[in-house]
Amino acid sequence: MNMQYTAKIAGTGMYAPKRIVNNFDLEKMVDTSDEWIRTRTGMFERHFVADDEAASDLATHAAHKALEAAKLRVRDIDLIIVGSVTSDHAFPSTACIVQKNLGAKSCMAFDVSAGCSGFLYASDIARQFIENGSVEHALVIGVEVLSRFTNWEDRGTCVLFGDGSGAAMISRAKSTDIGRIIDTHMEADGTYGNLLIQPAGGSRLPATDETVREHKHTVHMEGNRIFKLAVKSMYNQCETVLKRNNWDVKSIDWLISHQANLRIIESLGNKLKIDPKKVIINIEKYANTSAASIPIALDEAVRAGKIRRGDVVLMTAFGAGLTSGAMLIRF
Ligand code: UT7
C-alpha cells in the first residue's frame, strides 16, 4: 500500500438528547419489565430526542465538541462523513446539513449507511482520504434517532434503542505524534440483510397507508440470529487486525465494542480472552444507539481519563447489512 501519511484521532465529542426514559418508564408503555430488560440486555436508561430534534442537530452538537477537543476550527474541516441509518431525510445527506449548521467550507460531505458499523466504516473511509494525502482533517460522526423508527407494539425491539451522537476529528498525524490508526478491517455479508431491516420507505416499498399501519417503517429484527452472528463476526474482525499486525490481545489497553447487548459484549470479551476490566461498557445509560454507540463510549472513556494518549484501543462493530468491522488505534 502506498501510504504517504498516517491518520490519528485528534479529538472526540458526544451528545445525548435531554429526555431520559428508563426501564420503569417503559413498563408503563409496553408489556415488559425492568428485570427482563436488565438481565437480557444490560440496559437501564436511554435518551430520546425532543419533537423538534433530528439527527443533524445531535450530530452538530457532537461535532462542535470534537472540534474543540482537537483544538481545531470549523474552517479546518476538509471532509465530513456521517454514519447513520436514521438521517433527517432520505436526501440531502445529514453530512450536508451538518456542514451548513457548522458553517464549514465547501468540502466533500456524505453519509454512509452501514447500520451500527456506520462510525467504523466512516472512520475507515476518512483514514484512507488522510493516508493518501487528499485531506488533512476529517470530521466523522455516528448519529442515530432510532426512537423515530420504533414499533411500540413490538416489545422485542422497542425497548432496545436510544438516540445519540458521537464524533471524532480524524487528522493527519505529525511525525512526532505517537497516536495513529494502526489497522482496520471492514466486511459485509448482504445475504443476511433481511435479519435487521426497515422494510418500507425506500424504492422497494414506498410509503402507503398500509405500510404505515403495518409498522413497516420501523426496525424489524430477528434478535436471536443477529446475536450469534454479532459475536462471531466481531470476533473474526478483531482477530484479523490483531493477527495481521502480530499483536497479542494482552497488548490491548481497551476494547470498545458496539453496545447492542451486555451479553454480546461479554461473550466477545470471553472469546477474545481479554481482561474484563479493559472492556468499556456504557449500555446501561444509553441502550443501543447504533452508529453512535462506539464514538459515545470512546468520548466518555477519554473524558473520564480512562483512555490516555498512547493507549492501544480495539474498536469493533456489527450491524444492519450485515456489516462488521474492527479498528486498531494507538490513541
Ligand atoms: O445493534 C444491531 C444489532 N442488534 C443486536 O445485536 C441485537 C441482538 N439480539 C439481542 O440482543 C437479543 O436477541 C434480544 C435482546 C433482542 C432478545 O433477547 P433474547 O434473550 O434473544 O430473547 P428472545 O427474543 O429469545 O425472547 C425470549 C422471551 C420470549 O418469550 P417466550 O417466547 O420465551 O415466552 C419473548 O416474547 O422474552 C420475551 N420478550 C420479552 N419479555 C419482556 C421479548 N422481548 C421482551 C421484553 N420484555 N421487552
Tell me if 99 CB under 6 Å of ligand 1. Answer: no
Whether residue 176 is predicted with pLDDT greater than 90 in this model: the reply is no
Domain ranges of the chain: 7-172, 180-330
Mean of pLDDT values over 308-314: 96
Q: Sort 1 into a burial class: Cβ within 10 Å, 0-12 / 13-18 / 19+.
A: exposed
Tell me if 193 CB under 6 Å of ligand 1. Answer: no
Contact 164, 16 (CB under 8 A): yes
| Range 46-57 burial, b when 16+ CB lie within 10 A, else e | bbbbeeebbbbb
CA distance 8 to 45: 32
- C-alpha grid cell, residue 265: 459484549
Contact 283, 265 (CB under 8 A): yes
Give the closest residue (by CA) to ligand 1 atom 21: 224
Task: Assess whether 116 carries a catalytic annotation.
Answer: yes
Report how far ligand 1's centroid is from the alpha carbon of 34 (Å). Answer: 13
Report how far ligand 1's centroid is from the alpha carbon of 37 (Å). Answer: 9
**7-172 and 180-330 have identical folds:** yes
Whether residue 329 is predicted with pLDDT greater than 70 in this model: the reply is yes
Report how far ligand 1's centroid is from the alpha carbon of 104 (Å). Answer: 43
When pLDDT is cut at 50, 70 and 90, the band that residue 177 belongs to is confident
When pLDDT is cut at 50, 70 and 90, the band that residue 168 belongs to is very high
Task: Assess whether 288 carries a catalytic annotation.
Answer: yes
Superfamily of domain 7-172: Thiolase/Chalcone synthase (3.40.47.10)
**How does DSSP assign 35-49, residue by residue?**
HHHHHHH---EEEE-
In CATH, the number for domain 180-330 is 3.40.47.10
Whether this model's pTM surpasses 0.95: yes
Task: Assess whether 107 carries a catalytic annotation.
Answer: no
Summarize pLDDT for 204-262 with one digit per residue, the tens. Answer: 999 999 999 999 999 999 999 999 999 999 999 999 999 999 999 999 999 999 999 99
Report how far ligand 1's centroid is from the alpha carbon of 156 (Å). Answer: 5
Tell me if 60 CB under 6 Å of ligand 1. Answer: no
